[in-house]
Amino acid sequence: MSGLLLRALRAALPGAVRLPAVRRLRTAAPRPAFAKELFLGTLRKEEVFPYPEISNEELEEINQFVGPVEKFFSEEVDSKKIDQDAKIPPETLKGLKDLGLFGMQIPEEYGGLGLSNTMYARLGEITSLDGSIAVTLAAHQAIGLKGILIAGTDEQKAKYLPRLASGEHIAAFCLTEPGSGSDAASIQTRATLSEDGKYFLLNGSKVWISNGGLANIFTVFARTEVVDKDGQLKDKITAFIVERDFGGVTHGKPEDKLGIRGSNTCEVHFENTKVPIENVIGEVGGGFKVAMNILNSGRFSMGSASAGMIKKLIEMTAEYACTRKQFDKKLSEFGLIQEKFCFMAVKAYVMESMAYLTAGMMDRPGFPDCSVEAAMVKVFSSEGAWTCVSEALQILGGLGYMKDYPYERYLRDTRILLIFEGTNEILRMYIALTGMQYAGKILTDKIKEIKKGNVGVALGEFLSKLRDMMGRKVDYGLVGDRGVVHPSLQESGKKLEENIYYFGTTVRGLLSRFGKTIVEEQLVLKRVADIVINLYAMTAAISRASRSISIGLRNHDHEVLLTNIFCTEAYFKNNYAMAQLEKYADENLDDCIKKAAKQVLEKRAYTCSHPLDRTF
């Protein structure tokens, strides 16, 4: 039975700390968006201070889960063989199913473990130690069945979730097509309603589908004809639950990939597949929103997964650096090697802090919109993981390059993180534009109020500008006698406050300068995204380190050190980026960059003469 061991452990918990059989959805009024407020130069400190905590009951429960999962991955998972054979062995898949790992976030009433986002992130640290398994599990539950979870009817959940939770059925998410990658709205797969209105006929092909050759259940997105409000017939995307047993579902051979080789990735084809009308997820024509909600909700877990992998890398490379000798000194005694270990520790700490802050926010009562925060975690963590693996391999030198050791596999597996679940380029645009749109609407409303003669709003704006001209002292209440930041982190807190305030000023200037055409200014938006990602990262690290030192966690002084290192570096990076965003800034080379790229792309080649050319 799926999850037998973990459920037995849960049942064995002392009565005083045993959780209800079903973890109920906690409801409350919608919470304000933390990240979007940063674009206004506003810090909602009550949303991020103190750092989120789970209950003692949940802590007891997750600690019961961690042991068996760690033991399984340590003793039963042969990552080298999975990579070489480009396949996860059936016995390994069975072990994952028996541990309940195919139903981590499916509610207990449907046979899953019913884990919170925080608990899911914790187990993700362990499952990430094998990239192929991590992708298989994530493709199944983070996106494959997530549509049923967040938008499915009670009937759909009762029908499909129990067998998906047990792993008897495996799920896949079918969105990408040969002609539509990041541009999801351009898909061509079509679903045509039958004359009797009882089913849709589905036709089309999907590419690069994780679990495509294993899946029994597919979440498929297709174009459908919809009559809009004014009576016009329009093409809109609809989400469907498609069973392989419906017929007309085939898949191609597994793709031969650079990394995550053991995960199953292939084309999936639908030819006149009959999908009952009751298998529509959400509304007909509402599929694009379903797709975005699915993708937005799962990205945060990449932070804990990446941190788990980097922590393991630090252990392995530190052992080597502390025993390997060159020039009569251990590698660990050389400054350039020490720098690499500091870099990896800082990255791991910050991405872990971001991931669990975001998970904690998502687990709170109400329905917080954490899509921007989750996207920021994904961008920071994927790029941090890639650079950390590269640095770890560099420490090991030639040994790290050999297939006898796992480091080159980590390098190959990690590269995909910057591409899937939304490329980092697309996500940077999403982060920046979502925040700019939010700020723009509020600032526009203020202008309208001033034009209407609202003296209060006008006076507030005037006083704000006056304080800026006179040299405003930025104070968001993070530091000082009544501050929420521990005294050992006060300098980092001040840097964060200053960065947030001047970021709001920068955003206001950009909106005034570009207006709606800001959408086309991708190099500007990239800097905006990078700044706000750093601001969120600084916030998460400061909040977590403050909590750690306040409650006396072991090695809290190390956390403070890592946080202060990161915040100081991020502060200066942010200042430089904001300087680049000033009009006519000498630091800004955007026009030169565009010009150079245009010259290369026009010729579709590197255009400089070779230094050995002799033309007189």
Catalytic residue numbers, as ranges = 421
**Rounded Cα distance, 346 and 562, in Å:** 5
Contact 483, 493 (CB under 8 A): yes
DSSP helix/strand/coil, 612: coil
Phi and psi angles of residue 44, each rounded to the nearest 5 degrees, phi first: -85, 85
Contact 284, 226 (CB under 8 A): yes
**Rounded Cα distance, 563 and 544, in Å:** 9
Give CA torsion, residues 457, 461, 462, 467, to 10 deg: 140
> What tokens appear for 327 in the block?
């020039």
Contact 358, 544 (CB under 8 A): no
Residue type, 273: T
> What tokens appear for 276 in the block?
């009952």
- Check residue 177 and report its DSSP letter: B
**Rounded Cα distance, 371 and 425, in Å:** 16
Residue type, 584: Y
Q: 132: left (phi > 0), else alpha (psi -120 to 50), else beta?
A: alpha
Query: Tokens 């920046």 identify what position?
Result: 432
**Rounded Cα distance, 603 and 159, in Å:** 56
> What tokens appear for 196 in the block?
């009797």
Contact 408, 402 (CB under 8 A): yes
**Cβ contacts of residue 273 below 8 Å, gap of 6+?**
201, 202, 203, 242, 246, 247, 248, 249
CB-based burial of residue 388 (10 Å sphere; 0-12 exposed, 13-18 middle, 19+ buried)?
A: buried
**Rounded Cα distance, 80 and 321, in Å:** 23
How far, rounded to the nearest angstrom, does the alpha carbon of residue 173 sit from its chain's CA centroid? 17
**Rounded Cα distance, 574 and 310, in Å:** 25
Going 452 to 453 to 454 to 456, the CA torsion angle's sign is positive
Whole-angstrom CA distances from 581 to 431, 500, 584 are 17, 15, 9
Going 281 to 284 to 289 to 295, the CA torsion angle's sign is positive
Contact 438, 283 (CB under 8 A): no
**Rounded Cα distance, 99 and 402, in Å:** 33
**Cβ contacts of residue 190 below 8 Å, gap of 6+?**
202, 203, 204, 222, 223, 224
Phi and psi angles of residue 457, each rounded to the nearest 5 degrees, phi first: -65, -45
Reply yes or no: is the peptide bond before residue 50 cis, omega within 30 of 0.
yes
Q: Which residues pair with 174 in a beta bridge?
A: 220
**Rounded Cα distance, 163 and 103, in Å:** 9
DSSP helix/strand/coil, 569: helix
